[in-house]
């Protein structure tokens, strides 16, 4: 049987989830989904759930939130109808599917540090989802469903997530200090090689990571002679750096744990603006 089809399990309470996040709307975001079950006559029934939206969020944040909302609805639903053997969450987010087990069973025992000894992304949201999963009397599993491929309930979840984002009232989950980028490219984590090189960058945003006691910076490469020119990526540094600063720095050589080792000099941004 092909994977990603979202086949309903008649012995489970099935939850189809989806999140949304829109670049053109300053990342206004939303989440929604539906509970699906098979009744005593062998017919499928479903209930929708949707939240008011968020002013700003990433798609990964909203995919986790959609699962959390789904589990809250499931816990409510099970109080009046509990003939199921398990909970089955369907998500079209491979980020959620690939990390769900770790977030439920591994990261809490490693102080929420990944294999690279750096804090994992979206810790607080994973914790919220874990709390709802632990409240449930049934075992909870996650399966991947292929997006926009004709699955009725995946389409419903997608429509609800979009509707949610149309009313972005909730405040963002986290704040970072951001300045406007020069590049027309999107940020892609890990796109810049980390090989111990000296490199010229411009700081775009700054976020303090409490668990690691360091700063996480988003930057763009400003040297036209560098093969990564105009690329945007993330780097860590233990000291405070101002946004909109152009710097000549030296990176470490750990691709999975990228750090600035040294700030060599501050550059004149007007010499590099493109």
CATH of the domain at 108: 3.30.420.10
Residue with tokens 């053109």: 24
Task: Please indicate, yes or no, if residue 6 is contained in any of the structural domains.
Answer: no
Coil, strand or helix: which one is 162?
A: helix
Q: And the tokens for 144?
A: 């991947």
Number of domain units in the chain? 2
Residues 170, 45 contacting (CB under 8 angstroms): no
Q: Are residues 117 and 25 in the same domain?
A: yes
Q: Are residues 160 and 40 in the same domain?
A: yes
Q: Are residues 151 and 184 in the same domain?
A: no
Determine the distance from the C-alpha atom of residue 197 to the mean position of all C-alpha atoms in its chain, rounded to a whole number: 29
Task: Please indicate, yes or no, if residue 232 is contained in any of the structural domains.
Answer: yes
Burial (0-12, 13-18, 19+ Cβ within 10 Å), 55: middle
Coil, strand or helix: which one is 131?
A: helix
Task: Please indicate, yes or no, if residue 142 is contained in any of the structural domains.
Answer: yes
DSSP 80: T
Q: What is the reported pLDDT for 5?
A: 82
Which residue among 170, 190, 213 closes a domain?
170
Which residue among 124, 151, 170 closes a domain?
170
Task: Please indicate, yes or no, if residue 1 is contained in any of the structural domains.
Answer: no
pTM: 0.81
DSSP 71: H
Q: Are residues 128 and 188 in the same domain?
A: no
Give the structural domain span for 40. 12-170
Strands 12-22, 28-38: pairing is antiparallel
Q: Are residues 223 and 88 in the same domain?
A: no
Q: And the tokens for 52?
A: 């008011």
Q: Are residues 68 and 33 in the same domain?
A: yes
> Angle, to 10 degrees, between the axis of helix 94-101 and the axis of helix 59-78?
60
Q: Are residues 166 and 181 in the same domain?
A: no
Q: What is the reported pLDDT for 95?
A: 96
Q: Are residues 53 and 69 in the same domain?
A: yes
Per-residue pLDDT of the chain (274 residues; tens, 9 = 90+): 457 788 999 999 999 999 999 876 667 999 999 999 999 999 999 999 999 999 989 999 999 999 999 999 999 999 988 889 999 999 999 999 999 999 999 999 998 988 888 888 899 999 999 999 999 999 999 999 998 777 999 999 999 999 999 988 888 887 666 789 999 999 999 999 999 999 999 999 998 887 778 899 999 999 999 999 999 999 999 999 998 999 999 999 999 899 999 999 999 999 999 8
Q: Are residues 53 and 89 in the same domain?
A: yes
Task: Please indicate, yes or no, if residue 273 is contained in any of the structural domains.
Answer: no
Which residue among 129, 151, 170 closes a domain?
170
Q: And the tokens for 199?
A: 């490199």
Residues 6+ apart with CB under 8 A from 266: 245, 246, 247, 248
> With b meaning 16 or more CB within 10 Å and e meaning fewer, what string describes 67-77?
bbbbbbbbbeb
Residue with tokens 């993330």: 234
Q: Are residues 160 and 103 in the same domain?
A: yes
Task: Please indicate, yes or no, if residue 39 is contained in any of the structural domains.
Answer: yes
């Amino acid at each position: 049987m092909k994977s990603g089809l979202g086949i309903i399990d008649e012995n489970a309470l099935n939850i189809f989830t989806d999140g949304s996040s829109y670049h053109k709307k300053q990342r206004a975001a939303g989440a929604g989904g539906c509970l699906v079950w098979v009744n005593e006559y062998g017919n499928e029934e479903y209930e929708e759930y949707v939240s008011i939206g968020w002013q700003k969020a990433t798609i990964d944040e909203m995919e986790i939130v959609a699962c959390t909302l789904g589990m809250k609805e499931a816990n409510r639903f099970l109080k009046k109808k509990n003939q199921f053997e398990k909970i089955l969450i369907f998500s079209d987010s491979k980020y959620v599917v690939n990390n769900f087990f770790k977030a439920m069973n591994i990261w809490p025992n490693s102080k929420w540090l990944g294999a690279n000894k750096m804090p994992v992304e979206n810790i607080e949201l994973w914790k919220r989802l874990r709390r709802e999963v632990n409240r449930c009397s049934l075992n909870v599993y996650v399966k991947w469903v292929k997006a926009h491929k004709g699955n009725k309930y995946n389409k419903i979840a997608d429509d609800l997530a979009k509707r949610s984002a149309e009313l972005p009232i909730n405040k963002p989950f986290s704040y970072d200090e951001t300045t406007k980028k020069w590049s027309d490219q999107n940020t892609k984590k890990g796109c810049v090689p980390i090989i111990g090189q000296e490199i010229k960058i411009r700081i775009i945003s700054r976020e303090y990571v409490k668990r690691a006691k360091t700063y996480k910076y988003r930057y763009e490469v400003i040297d036209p002679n560098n093969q990564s020119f105009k690329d945007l990526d993330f780097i860590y540094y233990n000291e405070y750096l101002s946004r909109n600063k152009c710097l000549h720095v030296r990176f470490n050589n750990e691709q999975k744990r990228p750090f600035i080792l040294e700030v060599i000099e501050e550059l004149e941004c007007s010499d590099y603006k493109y």
